[in-house]
Structure 1
């Protein structure tokens, strides 16, 4: 099990290039990737994002990439004919305006079309091979941190699930007292009428049965058992992304406790249900950080 928070950084020389890759991962309901790499290598951003998508399904990822040459290599192309055209045009303009200065080199280099970075496809492939290696190393570091944090969260969550199972057992045991409770309540109601009415036992049992049917929580208890069992199975599974599944199961457990609290008239069962909801809320807080 992995958390969504993690960090990984790598600085590595591969071939004629030095690569720096830094990845920060934070909580996020969906996968959101922000990649920052030199604009000259912007064509590689989609490939980087594809690597990230293979390893992360949720979370907010911030990726910083820097690529530098280790040995001087000409990657700047000069468009000499264009430079001469600019120079001639500027010189003509200076003469027309009766300016004494001729166009300077400082002025010419401001025209970005004259000097531009250029990397051929073959060299770009070499750069990508090195970058891919560096990014994968950084990803592995992030995942290692996430797994370490995930184990801590797992221990906490399983403790909460154990408490929910105990409360479910207490609710189930206490639910057996509901028939006697409703029977006594019905008798008290009849006495409060202060009428000389002879009620028969069969009629009383029938009324109790109707009340019990409306307040029956057997199905809710069974579903709670099913949800906690499934929850533990998912937590202990080897699946890479389980956060959304656990969040759904936590919502289902919360719903069952709500229903039990609304159906039951026994104070003890209501109290157990409220405690159960508290533990479910604690689980939901932890689940928000699970990948």
Structure 2
């Protein structure tokens, strides 16, 4: 199953031809139906519609379509019917011209200052008169399916890009964890030797009153306490486990956004603990680099459905 982004955009148009004058198939004008869907990230599925009056009755069916195929995201569907674009000018009928002329004379009789009709206004009225009433609901629902298919394709492509980014960051985090793992035994050994050196110096000051066995035992005790204090084996183990689960979920795909977000929080917690237990500058740098990568992952995971 694919990984889907919550971000996407798609649009399509439907332009049915219609007759402009009865009996004259050459005089045709077109009304164009357009639908676009925009989607951005959101915690839940939030739908909004901007529809013309002709399509108000479609909203429940459109809502059902979106609910059936989208799980999360702030989604806006816009539809518009544009009847202005006509490739052929409709010729007004004689009957229409006579009626318009009579109406204009009647208006001017009462309103002498009224402006006469222009040619463009007459042609527009001819188009409006010749336009048969059309039921746009069936074309709108069919077009919505087309736009929704395109939106899902766009979200899938974006999801594939996000998945590739996550795989890359997971690999980098594994590399950093592998660098951190051998640092702890080295730090413990260095600290143990430091304790021994300091105890030897103390023995020299006491002129040999303390035995070497006492010095070694004391150094081992201090080194053990130090090792417990800086031990990050559990953090690295949990971090590796979270990375395995992240990789598994991304490969599985589907509705994984919320689970990925939770795992990112857990990764950040382990990286923070790693930094707080740091006893060497190199380990601190590793912790900082990890948190940078995890933050990059968090930003992208917010867009996954």
For 2:298 and 2:197, how far apart are their aligned partners in 1?
43
From 9, 23, 38, the equivalent of 2:52 is: 38
Offset at residue 193 of structure 1 (A): 6.5
Aligned residue number for residue 80 of structure 1 = none
Unpaired segments ≥5 residues, structure 2: 19-30, 84-109, 111-134
From 285, 288, 294, the equivalent of 1:271 is: 285
Aligned residue number for residue 2 of structure 1 = 4
Deviations 1:200-236 (A, max 9, x none): 3233222322222222111111111111111111111
- Residues 210 and 41 (structure 1), Cα distance of their counterparts in 2 relative to 1, 3 Å cut: same
From 178, 195, 205, the equivalent of 1:169 is: 178
1:135 alignment partner, SS class? helix
8 Å CA contact retained: 1:14, 1:130? no
Aligned residue number for residue 145 of structure 2 = 136
For 2:42 and 2:197, how far apart are their aligned partners in 1?
55
Structure with max Cα Rg: 2
From 49, 57, 62, the equivalent of 2:76 is: 62
Quick check: 198-207 or 137-146, which moved more?
A: 198-207
Aligned residue number for residue 12 of structure 1 = 14
For 2:263 and 2:39, how far apart are their aligned partners in 1?
25
Q: Does 1:22 align with 2:36?
A: yes
Quick check: 257-266 or 18-27, which moved more?
A: 18-27
Please report the RMSD computed on the Cα atoms of aligned residues, expressed in angstroms.
3.0
- Residues 189 and 289 (structure 1), Cα distance of their counterparts in 2 relative to 1, 3 Å cut: farther
- Residues 201 and 19 (structure 1), Cα distance of their counterparts in 2 relative to 1, 3 Å cut: same
Q: Does 1:229 align with 2:238?
A: no
Offset at residue 8 of structure 1 (A): 1.4
Q: Does 1:181 align with 2:190?
A: yes
Offset at residue 129 of structure 1 (A): 4.7
Unpaired segments ≥5 residues, structure 1: 70-100, 102-125
Quick check: 185-194 or 272-281, which moved more?
A: 185-194
- Residues 34 and 210 (structure 1), Cα distance of their counterparts in 2 relative to 1, 3 Å cut: same
Q: Does 1:51 align with 2:65?
A: yes
Instruction: State the TM-score, normalized to the length of structure 1.
Output: 0.71
Offset at residue 165 of structure 1 (A): 0.5
Instruction: State the TM-score, normalized to the length of structure 2.
Output: 0.68
Aligned residues: 237
Offset at residue 270 of structure 1 (A): 1.6
